[in-house]
Amino acid sequence: MKLSACLIVRNEQHLLPDCLHSIRQAVDEIIVVDTGSTDETIAIAKQAGAIVLEIPWNDDFAAARNLSLAHATGKWVLILDADERLDAESIPLLRKLVEGNDPYEGYFIRVEHVMGDGFDPIPMTVNPLLRLFRNREAYRFEGAIHEQIASVIIREKVDAVLAFTPIRVLHLGYQPHIVSGKDKIARNIHMLERIIETEGRQPFHLFNLAVERLRKGDDITALTLLREAREITPLSASFAHLMIKIEAWACARIGKIDEAVQLCTAGIKDFPDYTDLHFALAVYYDASGNRHAAIEAMREAARIGTPPSHYHTEGGVGTFRAHMQLGAWALEARAWREAARAFDAALAAEGCPAAAWLASVRLRRVQGDLPALSEAAAQWLQAQPQALRAALLSAAQHGGGSALDLPHATAAHNAPTPPVGSSVTPQAQPTAASAGSPASSAAKNPSRTSATVSLADLLADNNNTNNKHNNNLSTPSKHKQHVQPTMTNTPIAQALSSLSKADIALARLQQYPWSRTSAATSRLLLPLYALALSAQTKEAPTI
C-alpha cells in the first residue's frame, strides 16, 4: 500500500459519496471511523470498499483521527473529511509524491473553504494544512478540536522537513446551510471553552474561540479574545498573521475603522508579503473616505499577487479581486481606459468570476463599442462551461436594449477614453444614428485588431455544435448569422438581464456631472452579478 485515506464521519450520507468518488483513483485504501451515524453513512462507506470502524463520540477529534491512523497500512496517509473533495487535477501530483523518493516527512496542501456552490466562484479562504504525511507509529494527532500533527512530527523527528504543495482540497463545510444544519458553531464553542478551562488560556485556543464567536455574531466578545491572544502570541506562530487580519475585520464590523487601519498597517510591517493585509487595508481606507490611499494599497496587493504558500489567504485577493476593485473605483472616476485595463487583468487571473466579464461588456456598451470584446474577455469566455456562456451571452445581448444605444449627451470633446484594445477613438465614435446591429457595426470598423473579437459573432456561434469558431476567437467572422442563444428565458438569464439593464442605466448616469451620486450605487452591482449566477446552481449542469 502506498497511500491510505483516513476519514472520521457521522451522519454524512449526503456529502460522503462525492468525497469518496473524488479519491477513488488516488488512494490505495480508505479507512473510515464512524462516530455514531444513524443514517446511511456506514453503508455508503462499505459499498465504496472502505474499512469502517465504529466508535462512540467523546468530544475528541484527535482520538478519532488516531484510531484511523492505527488501522492504516499505507506508506503515506491522506487526511480528509466527508465535506471535502480532492481536486481531480491534483491526483497526478499526489501520486508522484507518495511514489517518489523525496526526503520530506509531510506535505501541506491547499484546503480551500468554498463559500458558494454555483457556476461562479465566490472568494474563499485558503488554508495550508498538513494533510499528507508518512505513516509512522509515533505520528499521532493532538488536540480535542482543531487537532494538529505538524508540531508532533517535528517533535518526534527533529530533522523532519515539511513541504508545501499546490495540491487542492475543496472544503464545503463552511457553507451556511451546512453550518446551520449541523450546529457546528455551538459545538465548537462548547468544546473550546471546555479545553480552555482544562488547559489554560493558550493563544491558539483563544484565537479559535474568537473565530467561532465572530461566526456567531458576538463581535465584542470575539474582539476581546483576539486582543488577549495577540498579547501572548509570538510572531513566529503559524496563525499570527491571520489573527491580525481577523482582529482588524472584527474592529471594522463594529465600526472601528481607524483601528482596523492601524492594525493592518502595523501588521504589514511584520508581514510585508501578506497580500491579504494590503487588500484589507485598502478596503478600510476606502471605508474611512481615503480613496487615494485605498487605491495605493490595492495596487500593492495586486503587485504582490498570491501570497507565499505558508499564509492563510482568501482566493483572488492579489489577483482578480484586487483588479476588479481597482476597476470599480476607476469606473466611479470615469477613468474608462484604466477600468478596462483592470478588468482585463482580472479576467486573465485564475478563478476570475463572471462579474469582471460583465463589467467589461458594460464598458463597451456605455462607449458604443459593444461588438468588440477585449482579447482577455474573449479568452475568458471561451474557457467557460457552455451553460454559463449561454447565460452570459444572453445577458450581454438582451440586457441593455439595442446593442449600440448610446447616451444622448456624448460630444467628441468630452467623450471618455476608449478601453484598451478598442478601435474606436474619441474622434470616431459611432453615433446613435449610425449604430445598427452588432454585426453591421463591426463591418463598418474593419480596422479592429487581433486584440478584439466581435460579440455578435460569439452570439451567433453560441449554438454551433462543431465549435469551429471557438478555436479562433480573435478573428471576427464576417459571414455569421445572428442566432438566438439558448437559455434566454431561464431564471439565471432573466436575472442577469435585469441586472445588466440597471447597471447600464447607472453607468450612463455616471457620464453626467449632476449624477455623481450614482457611482456608489453602481458599485453594488458587481457582487450582485456573481450572486445572480450562484443563485441558480442546479439550473444547468456544467458541461
CB 167 within 8 A of CB 132: yes
Q: How many CB atoms lie within 10 A of CB 515?
A: 12
One DSSP character per residue, 425-461 reads: -TTSPPPTTT---HHHHHHT-TT--TTEEEHHHHHHT
Residues whose CB is less than 8 angstroms from the CB of residue 374 and which lie 6 or more positions away in sequence, other chains included: 340, 344, 347, 360, 419, 420, 421, 422, 451, 452
CA distance 497 to 503: 10
Mean pLDDT by 10 residues, the chain (543 residues): 96 96 97 97 97 96 97 98 96 96 95 68 78 98 93 95 95 75 83 94 95 92 97 94 95 94 98 97 94 96 96 92 91 85 93 84 68 81 84 66 30 26 28 27 30 39 36 34 42 53 51 43 41 38 34
Angstrom distances, CA of residue 65 to CA of 1, 82, 114, 452, 482:
19, 13, 23, 54, 59
**Could you tell me which of 345, 515, 485, 369 has the C-alpha nearest to residue 429?**
369
Phi first, then psi, for residue 410 (nearest 5°) are: -130, 100
Copy the grid coordinates of residue 8.
472520521
- Residue 328: predicted pLDDT: 87
**Could you tell me which of 337, 332, 338, 358 has the C-alpha nearest to residue 347?**
358
CB 64 within 8 A of CB 34: no
Q: Which amino acid is at 271?
A: F
Residues whose CB is less than 8 angstroms from the CB of residue 311 and which lie 6 or more positions away in sequence, other chains included: 128, 241, 242, 271, 274, 275, 276
Q: How many CB atoms lie within 10 A of CB 465?
A: 6
CB 68 within 8 A of CB 6: yes
**Could you tell me which of 21, 319, 277 has the C-alpha nearest to residue 170?**
21
323 CB burial (10 A radius; 0-12, 13-18, 19+): buried
Could you give the angle at the alpha carbon of 155 between the alpha carbons of 158 and 225, nearest 5°? 135
- Residue 178: predicted pLDDT: 73
DSSP state of 402: S
Three-class DSSP labels, 331-383: HHCCCHHHHHHHHHHHHCCCCCCHHHHHHHHHHHHHHCCCCEEEHHHHHHHHC
- Residue 355: predicted pLDDT: 81
Copy the grid coordinates of residue 68.
484511523
CA distance 100 to 82: 28
Coil/strand/helix, residue 171: strand
List the beta strands (DSSP E) in 12-119.
29-34, 51-54, 76-81, 84-86, 106-113
Could you give the angle at the alpha carbon of 187 between the alpha carbons of 183 and 189, nearest 5°? 120
CA distance 393 to 61: 48
- Residue 502: predicted pLDDT: 52
CB 529 within 8 A of CB 489: no
CA distance 69 to 280: 40
Q: How many CB atoms lie within 10 A of CB 204?
A: 18
Calculate the CA 145 to chain-centre distance. Answer: 26
CA distance 234 to 203: 9
Copy the grid coordinates of residue 44.
455508503
List residues bridging with 34 in a β-sheet: 9, 54
- Residue 165: predicted pLDDT: 95
Cα dihedral: 364, 365, 369, 372 (round 10):
60
Three-class DSSP labels, 191-244: HHHHHHHHHCCCHHHHHHHHHHHHHHCCHHHHHHHHHHHHHCCCCCCCCHHHHH
Copy the grid coordinates of residue 299.
495596487
CB 141 within 8 A of CB 201: no
Q: End-to-end alpha-carbon separation of the chain, Å? A: 35
Helix axes 275-287, 291-304, angle to 10 degrees: 160
